[in-house]
Amino acid sequence: MSSNSEANRIPGALPREMMEHTYPILFEVEQSHWWYIGRRRILADFVAQICSRVTDLRPRILDVGCGTGANLLMLKQYGDAEGVDVSTDALAFCRERGLDGVRQGAGEELPYEDGAFDLVTAFDVVEHMDDDLAGLREMYRVLRPGGHVLLFVPTFMFLWGLQDEVSNHRRRYRLPELRRVLEQAGFKIERSTYANITFFAPILLVRKLMRLTGIKTATENSINVSALNGLLGALFGAESTILRYTNLPFGVSGLCVAKKPAAKP
C-alpha cells in the first residue's frame, strides 16, 4: 500500500535513486555548499538531543540513503553510525571519504536485523521512494523499541523545481502528510517543524523564473556564489537556535522526530 502522499507524486517520475551523474557533483559540494552546511548544523542539534537520551555510551545510528557520506561523518560524532544506499556509486564515494560501515540496499528492504538501531536518519530520502510507507515501516522494523527516526524532507509541491527532477523526487510534503504516513508506519510523533524559512522567498522566486524562462542546468547546486557559502551557510544554520525553542510555520524543508513505542513490560 502506498502512502496518502500518492496524490502528490509526479506522473512518469523515474526510479527512486538520484541520477548517477549527480553523485560526483554531490561529493564535490556537500562539504562546502551553504545549503549542506546549514542543514548539517540544524540536523546535528536534533541528533545530539536524541542521542543524549540513549543510555548506551555510543548509540547505534543508521543513515538511510547515505549518499556520498558527508552526513555520516557528522553522525559519527554522536554514535556508531552506519550507512545504506541503493547506489554503488554513492557507496564508492563514501569509501573514498574513509567510511567503511556502508552497505548497498533499498530503503524499502533494509539489510539489517530487527531492532538493531537506536536512531535511524533519512535526510532528503523518503521523497525518492515509490512507497514511502513501506520505507518507513522498514525504518520502524530496524529500530529498537523506544528508538527514534529523524526525517528531513522537501516541502510544498509549488516549490517543485529542477533539483527535484535531477534527484528523481516522487513528491514534496506538507507536514500533516508526513506525520500521517509516519503514524501509519507505527511511529509516535514527537516533533515536526518546517525548516529553511530563511531562503524560502528567494528559492521560490528562482524556481518560478526557471520555469518561466526554461533555464536548464545539471543541478541547482551550480546556481551559487561560492564566495558566499560561509555567510549563507551561517544564516541558514542559525535556524538551529530558533528551532530549539519553537517550530517554524513554513519553509523549503520539513523536519520530523518520531519514536517507536517502547516494548510493554
Q: What is the pLDDT of residues 215-230, one digit of tens each?
A: 766 555 555 567 788 8
Q: Which CATH superfamily hosts domain 17-259?
A: Vaccinia Virus protein VP39 (3.40.50.150)
Q: Domain limits of the chain?
A: 17-259
Per-residue pLDDT band at 112 (split at 50, 70, 90): very high
pTM of the model: 0.88
Of 100-104, 132-136, 207-211, the one with minimum mean pLDDT is 207-211
- Percent of the chain at pLDDT > 70 equals 88
Question: What's the 3-state SS for the chain?
Answer: CCCHHHHHCCCCCCCCCCCCCHHHHHHHHCCCCHHHHHHHHHHHHHHHHHHCCCCCCCCEEEEECCCCCHHHHHHCCCCEEEEEECCHHHHHHHHHCCCCCEEECCCCCCCCCCCCEEEEEEECCHHHCCCHHHHHHHHHHHEEEEEEEEEEEEECHHHCCHHHHHCCCCCCECHHHHHHHHHHCCCEEEEEEEECCCCHHHHHHHHHHHHHHCCCCCCHHHCCCHHHHHHHHHHHHCHHHHHCCCCECCCCEEEEEEECCCCCC
Q: What is the pLDDT of residues 6-61, one digit of tens each?
A: 444 433 333 345 556 678 888 888 888 999 999 999 999 999 999 998 877 799 99
